[in-house]
Structure 1
Amino acid sequence: MSKSHDQRALAKRRDTANQPETRGIDLVPEADRHGRARDLFAVWAAPNISVLNFTIGATLTLVLGLEIWQAIVIIVAAQILWVLPGVVAISGPAAGTSGSVIQRAIYGIRGNRFVIAIYGWAISGVFLALNWVASSFMGAELLVRWGFPDHTAALLIVSVVVASVTVLVAVYGHGMILRSYGVVTVSLLVIFLVVTGYIAPSIDWAYRQPEPVAGAALWASASIGFAILASTPLSYSNSADLARYMPRNTEPRSIIAATALGGALPSLVFITVGALLGTVISSAEMTEGIEYVLFDMLPAWLGPVFVLGVIVNTVALNAMTTYTASMALQSIGVPIRRVPSAIVIGALGTVFTVVLVLSTSLIGAVNLMLQFLIVISAPTIAVYVTDIVLRRNRYQGDDLFDERRGSTFWYRGGYGWAGLSAVLAGGCAAALFISTDVWTGPLARAIGVIDLSAPIGMTVAIAVYVAATHRSRRAGEWGKAG
């Protein structure tokens, strides 16, 4: 009977697409490792074939006043940052667990709980809402055009339905994501390319700004645009979670390439399309919502198909976020299994979504939230990547789960002060150099409202972390894991 019970328990923990994934942050044994690095391309491409790319791209030309070529230069530069989630991803197979656990090596057993509670869980709820807002606005617009009488009720209905499907995918977990996102990527790519084909004839390819920005104003616009674009790759410090099932000997370069290209290529293409779209719409239309503009530019049959694509993309992106956030909740010590944790995260994101759809426009929500996320995301991912480089990606899973006093990652009182001080310093530096409609840092204001939050936040965090760990690394007292 005991043997039968063990077999049933093992079957429940298998990483398959046809049953909920019960494994949380616990180690993935070598016998359960599977998958190829190239599988990660679709995992990251599906969430980034997004209508938000159109919105962000249009912001560059329409709101920030950049010429088309200037916008494209900034778009290309920002996509290079996708290398960082690629590097973070390689720590998953090395440790065999979630990134929210791996970061105990940076912040200590106790310190990591505070970092993950803020970034890996609470911020995830906000990020969920940010993406659900896009599909809520477009889905509600479609329902109203089909005769639904109440726009507010339509917003709420779409938000709840999309959130429910998202949580269901997150409950089925890694196996479902790995096996379905290839089909999702191809389907979304076809839909968005057809939409682009219908948009293309309307684009003014010879467009020039009526009042070109120059000098300090140009640098301010370019830097703010870069900050908005950079916030997406910088926010994906959860990439290790999607790679942790891969065999330990999977080639790191292949993992980095598949992750980075999966995120960068669709973003590059469709943000550029958005920048071009910004040449033919007005500021008033943009403020009202790009979803209304797109509906009017597309034939009647394509509008519903496009909305379906937007909803599928939203589910793909937020299912991934919900999935990883469910493990973050476990890693901070909450006694909850992964499936109930995913439901809690989904409920939190739904509440935030309802607040946003009833109080703001899509473009206002997107740009403001993306910029402010940099204050946390830029130093966090910078320190994570630095730790991987300094340790040469040598993480020992057993040490990461040893929470006893005096363990490898107990550090001083359970806190990794080097990592905590680096992230705090980087976040403060980013806040001093951020430039938004709500808050402009004093140093950003001093240099002409130029937003250097991303590069400054990352540079300061890396410098502090390297300096703070220098003595212990030289003495051989740091990074004993592996």
Structure 2
Amino acid sequence: MSLAEPTTEGTYGDRVVAVEPGGNEHIAEADRHGRPSQLFWTWTSPNLEFATIFVGMLAVLAFGMTFWQAVAGIVVGTGLGAVAHFLLSARGPLHGVPQMVMARLAFGFRGNAVPAVLMSITAGVGWFATNSVSGAFALSTLFGFAPLVGLVIIVAAQTVLAFFGHNLVQAFERFSFPVLAVIFLAASVAIFAHADLGNAAPAADGVGGLGGFLLTVGTSFGYAAGWTPYAADFTRYLPASVSPRRTGFFAAAGLFTACVVLEVVGAASVTTGAASLADPTGSFTAELASPLAKATLLAIAVGAIAANAINVYSGAMAFVTIGIRLPAHFARALVTVFFGVAGFLVAWWALPDAAHSYEAFLLIIAYWVGPWLGVVFADQYLRRGQPVAHLLYDRSYTNWGGLAAFAFGLVASVALFANQEKLVGVIAAAVPQLGDITFFVGFVLAAAGYIVLCRKKLAAQTV
């Protein structure tokens, strides 16, 4: 740790019912606690929710895949996201800083503000709103009140968890894990009992073919990789002595297991003949017996809270990392409240057309996360073995090549390959059977651009 690097005071430790002090400081040894195995439920619980199921439903209903084609696309896309999550989570204990602070190496202190803002909006507002909507509809269906009432309940619960911070969020993920796992396992068995996996034809109005498969890979990747900008946020409190491989493994295993299982269940639910994009939550639970349907609706609400406690926590963390000066002791907690309010307003706006908004949102996440990962991994490769702590909080440190590579990868990939309803790239228009491979292209272009622009600079830093 460099002398200029801010660090925690050692007063937080493993206290659960206490507001986590500070913002994005380096975690002092006195505050380190936990073990890598806890990361399994940290990343399983937030993905045991209906938003995960809906990814699998989209593969068949919107992208025209058969069940087994959907399974293949889900495994590939989620696997790619889990590998990225492994690599980024593994670095957390060694460096003891949030993920977006680590990203300053690739982008510089000021340049990092661009992806940090994108991450704040994606996590603190976008994902927060998306998951809040699914939880609100679940409570509305379960108790019979208006979705807006359910939305208020969901938002209040998850904002309180995130306001208290890291330890309470981790505790909630731990204790919600067995409840969510049992209920969703029972629901999954019931869904498969009614499914027609072998004879299920793809949706007539779906994309189909290679394009549909790549869309399935892209949305599955977007869902899984959407967590990667948070990865080190939840490993940085582990002791520096823990195994990086075990840290990465448990984080990736929790993410991969929950996503693949529930997305496959979502795809299977479409083969029962009851699934509908107009009412995805209601059509999913329609095949379940009444007691199990009610328990599943409750689990969907709890899963939304588990996911959004992490989303708003890390969204606030990223915002603090932008460099805006805030009251040091309560910076993260104050920003959490702001994102809770903003996320509520966006969720309220999205209530009438949740399904369509979600499909587009998953692809848009992948658009910027792909190039971001390309730059971050290229930087990690070029810096292997170099000391980096002295750069993480240095406001004078610049690396504009990282931002240029990110912008190049993002703009070029979207302009050429984006395949949205209101934005179709040049190549996507000419070869529509490609579907949407923007995130693949963005990753490769950004990584290659970073190596070209920054290799000499980073090599000179080792001399």
TM over 0.5: yes
Following superposition of structure 1 onto structure 2, how do residues 252-263 of structure 1 map, counting pairs within 5 Å?
252-263=244-255
Per the alignment, residue 422 of structure 2 pairs with: 438
Which residue does 1:46 correspond to in 2? 45
SS of residue matched to 2:58: helix
Q: Which moved further from structure 2: 183-192 or 53-62? A: 53-62
Provide the C-alpha distance between the structure 2 equivalents of 1:363 and 1:352, rounded to a whole number of angstroms: 14
Which amino acid is the alignment partner of residue 377 of structure 2? V
Task: Map 1:330-341 to 2 at 5 A.
Answer: 330-336=320-326, 337-341=331-335
Counterpart of 1:238? 230
Offset from partner CA, 1:282-334 (integer Å, 9 cap, x none): 5xx51321111133222222232212111111111110111111222211123
Among candidates 296, 302, 305, match of residue 292 of structure 2: 302
2:389, 2:341 → 1: CA distance? 31
Which residue type is aligned with residue 62 of structure 1? L
Number of residues paired by the alignment? 448
Offset, 1:398: 4.3
Paired with 1:47 and 1:393, the residues of 2 have a C-alpha distance of: 34
Q: How does 1:30-109 map to 2 (within 5 A)?
A: 30-81=29-80, 82-109=82-109
Equivalent residues of 1:137, 1:291 under 8 A apart = yes
The residue type paired with residue 227 of structure 1 is G
The yes-or-no answer on 1:388 pairing with 2:372 is: no
Secondary structure at the aligned position of 2:290 is classed as coil
Q: Which residue of 2 aligns with 1:462?
A: 447
Partner of 1:422 in structure 2?
405
The CA deviation string for residues 73-123 of structure 1, in whole angstroms up to 9 with x for no partner, is: 111111212110121112322221111222111111111123212333465
Cα separation, 2, equivalents of 1:111 and 1:11: 30
Note the 1:80-479 alignment, pairs <5 A: 80-81=79-80, 82-121=82-121, 124-144=124-144, 148=145, 154-209=146-201, 217-236=208-227, 237-281=229-273, 286-336=276-326, 337-357=331-351, 359-360=352-353, 362-392=354-384, 396-403=388-395, 405=396, 410-411=397-398, 416-431=399-414, 432-450=416-434, 451-474=436-459, 476-477=460-461
Amino acid at match of 1:57: G
Aligned partner of residue 39 in structure 1, secondary structure: helix
CA contact (8 A) 1:224 1:435 kept: no
Give the Cα separation in 2 of the matches to 1:228 and 1:327: 25
| TM-aligned CA deviation for residue 231 of structure 1 | 0.3
Q: Which runs of 5+ in 2 are unaligned?
A: 1-7
Question: What's the secondary structure of 1:38's corresponding residue?
Answer: helix
Aligned to 1:5: none
Contact 2:64-2:202 at 8 Å conserved across structures: no
Q: CA deviation at 1:430?
A: 2.8
- Secondary structure of 2:286's counterpart equals helix
State the distance in 2 between where 1:213 and 1:324 align. Answer: 38
Q: Aligned partners of 2:101, 2:9: CA distance in 1, in Å?
A: 23
Shift of 1:212: 8.0
* 1:108 partner amino acid: G
Taking every aligned residue pair, what percent have the same amino acid on both sides?
A: 24
Tell me the secondary structure at the aligned position of residue 34 of structure 1: coil
Residues 1:124 and 1:426: Cα distance change in structure 2 (over 3 Å): farther
Could you say if the C-alpha distance between residues 211 and 347 of structure 1 is closer, same or farther in structure 2, counting changes exceeding 3 Å?
A: closer
Cα distance in 2 for partners of 1:210, 1:29 equals 54
Residue 195 of structure 1, CA deviation? 1.1
Letter in 2 for 1:64: F
Q: What amino acid maps onto 1:311 in structure 2?
A: A
1:448 Cα offset (Å): 2.5
Counterpart CA distance in 2 for 1:348 and 1:213 is 35
Deviations 1:448-481 (A, max 9, x none): 241111211111111111111122233x236x8x
Deviation at 1:274, TM superposition (A): 1.0
Aligned equivalent of 2:3: none
- In 1, Cα distance between the equivalents of 2:96 and 2:17? 22
Q: 1:222: how far off?
A: 0.8
Structure 1 pair 23–441 and aligned structure 2 pair: CA distance change class (3 A): same
Q: Which amino acid aligns with 1:350?
A: F
Letter in 2 for 1:467: V
Letter aligned with residue 95 of structure 2: A
